[in-house]
Amino acid sequence: MQGQTTMADDFELDTDDLKRRMDGTMSNLRTEFASLRTGRASASMLEPVMVEAYGQMTPINQVGTVNVPEPRMVTVNVWDKSMVNKVEKAIRESGLGINPQMNGTIIMLPIPELNEERRRELGKVAGQYAEHARVSIRNIRRDGMDRVKKAKSDGMSEDDQKFWETEVQELTDAYIKKVDEALETKQEEIMQV
């Protein structure tokens, strides 16, 4: 029996992989939050808007320059004159609740004040985005725990199992906390008048 090591003795859970996947979830959440319109103008609010350009759906920042010349105004300077109407239509139909105004190849987007009802709606949407992120993190946790269980069935000691399960749980708790903090910050931003 001497000299033989079981696979379980060498078991090292790839926590970097779990972290990377959880970071991906956080990055996705930040992108979703950025697309939620608060009372302030920001170029990122147009990121989810796609325009049909040259036969395919294209992000708005690939057909024109997006600028924020003042706190309540976003402008899109469309490079190709023939695309102006398509860009304007895409913004109008995007569900952002912004009414584009044309000025040659420049589309101006005045950002209206948010009313109380719209703020509450946006707060709920932010909450849904955060919940999706939590579920995603818990799924990554489950993958990690399944790997630990598999190693346990391959002969890992109970102490090692407890150690790795604690590692996975602590990582999960830390990321769930990050999601909650990001949600709190976003909701405060939404409710600011």
Q: For every one of its 193 residues, what pLDDT tens digit does the chain have, with 9 covering 90 and above?
A: 333 334 445 677 888 999 999 999 999 998 888 777 666 777 877 887 889 888 898 888 899 999 999 888 899 999 989 989 999 988 888 777 788 899 888 999 888 777 888 888 888 889 999 999 999 999 999 999 999 999 888 888 999 999 999 999 999 999 999 999 999 999 888 887 6
pTM for this predicted structure: 0.65
Tell me, what's the pLDDT at 7?
A: 46
DSSP letter string over 4-56?
---GGGG----HHHHHHHHHHHHHHHHHHHHHS--SS--GGGGTT-EEEETTE
pLDDT value for 193 = 61
pLDDT of 6: 41
**Architecture field, domain 43-110:** 2-Layer Sandwich (3.30)
Give the pLDDT confidence score for residue 38 in this predicted structure: 67
Considering the four listed CATH numbers 2.40.10.120, 1.10.132.20, 1.10.3720.10, 3.40.50.20, the one that applies to the domain covering 15-37+115-192 is: 1.10.132.20
Domain boundary assignment for the chain: 15-37+115-192, 43-110
Which pLDDT score, from 0 to 100, does residue 167 have? 94
